Homo-oligomer: A and B are copies of this chain.
Amino acid sequence: MKVDGKQIRPIWLDNDNVVNVIDQRKLPHALEVMTLTSVDEVIYAIQEMVVRGAPLIGVTGAYGVVVALETTTDQDMFRKACQRIKDSRPTAVNLAWAVERMLDNISYQNPAQERLAQAREQAGRIAGLEVDNCRRIGEHGAKLIADISKRKNNAAVNILTHCNAGWLACIEYGTATAPIYMAHKMGIDVHVWVDETRPLNQGARLTAWELGKQTVKHTLITDNAGGYLMQKKMVDMVIVGTDRSTYTGDVANKIGTYLKALAARDNDLPFYVALPSSTFDWQLTDGLKQIPIEERDPDEVRYIHGLAKTGVEKVLLTAKDSPALNPAFDITPAHLVTGFITERGICPANETAIVELFPEKR
């Protein structure tokens, strides 16, 4: 995407097989690039959320496999490194998917240089696939926005989103934001309600910044406010991303998504989930019982980073001894989801419809 006139992606692999990533912990106060030259650094970047978002975690995993191959010639150590990358975060299914796809396409019989070239090519294909998928998600989803715009006689379409499922979470366009960027490009009047998304404020820090840079109208709100805005008819639709969805339609996404789905249902508003097919889990049938929910450091709740006069500061929000709990995702059951926006089109959130769209995955 273009930021201040310059084309940029959240991740790229340079000619020396070094992974470059935007350090998303620093946004919006600074746009800094971090280089990852070892498997440990790749895992650090994933776990500490230097990179985050299901498609981007997947691509980071793919590039991580290239780094593993670059830094060890021992097959056993390489396999172990790949397994560690795969296990570095539990919820997003894209990570395991991308690492496995890499392994399927690297032949250890080939000489080291050829293997590396193979791996680079395969990682590039995975990244390219995510870009294509997001573009198509944008095209399909924009039609939904266009329909609402028409129904409203071209008045602004108000879309609520939670967390960041923007280009920063993907490679280009984003998932939830792709239809928004596409509609904006088509000249449709769109306005986005951006949930701040505590504890790590991906909405306040990333989505609001992204939308601002693309001149999309938006307003930041607390995570508490969305239900009220729906009650007051100030929201036309909800679009969110997902870290993993079952092929039966249950959606794991950033903690708090479920509350917005309940409010959308209570106010008869469409609630869409935008995702590339790499985010579907084709093994699981019951999101609530089967999708592992990551529990992160309670200090992410107790402390927050913000820009003080002296620079970015970490500040304590609570009494020093207050205990806290920090589950990172929740499950929105299929029956609350109006539909999935995928690279192949839009479908209802049920097994029959999903499998009909992706028959080869069954």
Contact = CB atoms under 8 A, between A and B. Distances in A.
Nearest to A258: B227
A219 to B, nearest CB: 5
A33 interface: no
B306 A220 contact: no
B304 A313 contact: no
Nearest to A198: B222
A313 B306 CA distance: 10
A186 interface: no
A149 to B, nearest CB: 21
Query: How many copies of this chain?
Result: 2
Given A220-B324, A293-B228, A306 B301 contact: no
Interface string A197-221: 1110100110011001000001111
A28 interface: yes
A320 to B, nearest CB: 8
Contacts of A226: 259
Interface in A256-289: 256, 258-260, 262-263, 266, 288
B323 A218 contact: yes
Contact of A212 (B263, B315, B321): B321
A225 interface: yes
Given A196-B198, A313-B308, A325-B225, A319 B212 contact: yes
